[in-house]
Structure 1
Amino acid sequence: MQVITDQVYAFSKDNAPCATAHPGEVLVFKTLDCFSNRIPDENTTMADLDYTYGFANPAAGPVHVEGAEPGDVLVVDIYEVEVADEGTIATDDHCGPLFEMTGYRTKKIPIRDGMADFNGVKFPINPMIGVIGTAPDGEDVIDGFVGAHGGNLDNKLITKGTRLYLPVRVPGALLQMGDVHAAMGDAELCGTGIEIPAEITVKVSLIKDFELHWPVHETFGPHGKWYVNASAQEFDEALKNASKELQRLLMRITGWDAVETYMYMSAQSDVELNQACKPCEVQLSLRIGTPKLPGFPPLVG
C-alpha cells in the first residue's frame, strides 16, 4: 500500500505527481492540519502566521492515476479517516459573520476515544476531508479555494464510507487531499473546524467517458443519497450551479423533461451548506442531496 506524504499548496496541472496509482489501488494520504502544523499552542494565533500561498491548507499528493484522461470521472472510496489526539480551532479578524467582535484566538481541543472535549463538553468526532480534488485544466487553484475540480469543499459528509466522484480534467487526474477536521458544523461559521493532522485511506477507480461538471458524492445505507457539490462567490449562483447539474444528471437517468425534473427536485432534494463563513474571500460551497431512485441507474456511472 502506497503512503503519500508529499504536500502541495495548489491544485495545478503543472504539479509533478509524487506517486502513480492504478485503478483499484488503495492509498494512504498522510496530511497536516490546515495551518501546516504551525500552531503548537494557544499562545500562537493566525496573526502570527503568513496565511498565504505556500502555507494554508496543504494537501497530500498529487497522485497520478493510471489511465485517467480528460472526460473521465475519478472515483474515490473513503475507507478510513484517522485523526491525531489534539486539534485546533482558531479565529481571525476578517472571516465569519461575527468577525468584527472576534479577533484572533486559538483553542486546542483534546481528542480521546472518539470524543472531542470543548471546555468539558464532550461530543463525538466526525473526521471529514475538507480539501480533496483533481487538477483543473486552466489556472492553478490554491488549496484553500473551491471550484468545479473540488478543492476546499469543506463538506462534512465527505468522510468514512462516502464515495466521491471527481471530474478528470488533465491526464492522470492528479488527486490530492488534506485539511481534515475532527468535527465541523455545516457552514464552518468561524472559518475553522477542529483542524487536525490525519491519515486518510482511500481506493481510487475510474469511470470512463462520463460528463461531470461538478463533484458528486454518494452515501449509503437505508437513507443513502446522491449529492451535487457546487460553489460560487454568492449563494444564488452556487445554488444555480448545483441545481443545473443535479437536474442534468437526473434527466439522464429518468428520461423526464427539465420542468418535471425541477418539480421533483423541489419535492425531494435538500439544499445544505458546506462552507459559508462569509464574509470571506473563499467562495460559498453547498450541496444538494436527493434520495436514490429504486429501479433507476446510478446518478453517476
Structure 2
Amino acid sequence: MSEHYLNTKSTHDRWNRDLAPEIEIEPGDVVKFDCFDSSGGQVNANSTVDDFVKIDRSKIHTLTGPVAIKGAKAGDTLRVHVVNIQHKGWGWSSITPGLGFLPNRFSDPFLFIWQLEEDSTDSLAPAVVPLRPFCGVMGVAPAASGEMQTRPPGIFGGNMDVKDLAAGSTLYLPVFNEGALFSLGDVHAAQGDGEICINGIECPAVVTVRFTLLKNTRLSAPMLETTQRSRTTGGEWTIVESDENPLAAARRAVNRMIDFLVNNWEFSPEHAYLLCSVAMDLRIHQVVNAPLITVGATLSKSLLPLLKRPVISDQ
C-alpha cells in the first residue's frame, strides 16, 4: 500500500470521462486530497456579502482529481473508505437570491463566516453546532461523453450531499470507464439533511481516503456504509406537517422551525435559516396514509440553551 497526495492545483469543475488523471494508483492505496471550499477559493475567511455576490458561479464545486485506479473497468465497483477529513478552521454559509428551499421568504444575498474549532462551532450564538465534516461531492467519471456540470448528482455519485459520508464511512460507486477516474470536493463541516439554504458549512479541507476495487459486481447506483449517524445526543424539537405534496409540507415545516428559533432564541430570520441548513434534518415520517405524506423538520436540543417555557405559538 502506498500513500499519495494531491494539492489544489489538481482540480477541475466539470465531470468529463476524457479528463486525464492527475495520478494513477493501485487498489489498496491511500490518497490525501487537498480541497478548496465549494467556491474554488473565491470565498475566504475575510469575505463580505459584497465579495460573495461577485464570485464566478461557473466555478462552484471545484473538485480535486481525477484519480485513476489501476485495473478498474466498467462493471466493477469502486470502494471508497473515508479515513479522515480535516477542516482548516473556517467555513461559510450563504443565502443566494432565487436559490435554496425558501427563495420567496429570503430574497436578499447574505454571507456568514464560521470560525471552526476541532469538533464544534459557537459562531452562531447561542447555538453550538457539532462538526462532522464530509464531502458533498464524491464520484467517478460518468459513462456519457462530454462535459457535465457538477451540481446534479447521478448514478456515478457526484453532488449527493449525504452528510453520512464522514470519516469512518465507505462509499460504493459503479465504474463506467477505465480507471474509474474518481474526484471529490465540496467539503461541509456540518449540514442538516435537506441543506435548505443551499449550503452546509462550506470549508476547505484535507480528505484522506483508501480505494479498493470489487471486480464484476454490477452495482447500479451509489451505496453507503456508515458506523455513526451524528454527533448530537439527547432530545429533539420536531415540527410536523402533512400534505399530498411532500415539498409543500416540508416548506411549511421549515418556515415554522425558523419562526420557532426566532421567537425562542432571538435569532434573526437569516441566521435561523442558516442554522436550519447546517443542523436541522428533514425527515419523511410516513408515505402510507393516502393521500397525505407526513414530513418532520427536526433539530437537536443539544445545540441550544434549554428552554424553560418555550414559545410554541407560530400563528
One-letter identity of the residue aligned with 1:182: A
Matched, 1:122 2:128: yes
Contact kept, 8 Å, 1:45 with 1:106, in 2: the verdict is no
User: Higher Cα Rg: structure 1 or 2?
Assistant: 2
Q: Secondary structure at the match of 2:158?
A: strand
8 A Cα contact 1:69 1:172, kept in partner? yes
Distance 1:92 1:45 in 2: 13
* Partner of residue 306, structure 2: none
Q: Report the AA paired with residue 107 of structure 1.
A: F
Percent of aligned pairs with the same amino acid: 30
Q: 2:185 maps to what in 1?
A: 178
Gaps of 5+ in 2: 230-244, 248-281, 285-315
* Cα deviation, residue 96, structure 1: 1.8
Superimposed CA distance per residue, residues 80-128 of structure 1 (whole angstroms, 9 cap, x where no aligned partner):
0100101000111111222123221100001013111233222210101
Quote how far apart the aligned CAs of 1:62 are.
0.1
TM-score normalized by structure 2? 0.68
- Give the RMSD, CA atoms, in angstroms: 2.2
* Structure 2 residue identity aligned to 1:137: A
Structure 1: gaps (5+ residues) = 223-233, 237-270, 274-301
Map 1:169-248 → 2, pairs under 5 A: 169-220=176-227
Report the counterpart of residue 16 of structure 1 in structure 2: 20
Residue range with higher mean Cα deviation, 167-176 or 111-120:
111-120
How many residues align structurally? 227
Shift of 1:43: 3.6
> Is the contact made by 2:27 and 2:70 (CA closer than 8 Å) also made in structure 1?
yes
User: What residue number does 2:99 align with?
Assistant: 95
Deviation of the 1:179 alpha carbon: 0.2
Provide closer, same or farther for how the CA distance between residues 108 and 75 of structure 1 changes in structure 2, counting only shifts above 3 A.
same
Paired position in structure 2 for 1:137: 143
Say if 1:209 and 1:83 are closer, same or farther in 2 by CA, change over 3 A.
same
2:134 and 2:167 in contact (8 A); partners too: yes
Q: Is residue 111 of structure 2 the alignment partner of residue 109 of structure 1?
A: no
Give distance in 1, aligned partners of 2:52 and 2:78.
34
Partner of 2:136, secondary structure, is strand
Note if contact 1:46-1:92 (Cα within 8 Å) is conserved in structure 2: no
Give the whole-Å Cα distance in 2 for the aligned partners of 1:118 and 1:98.
23
1:61 aligns with 2:68: no
Normalised TM-score (structure 1): 0.71
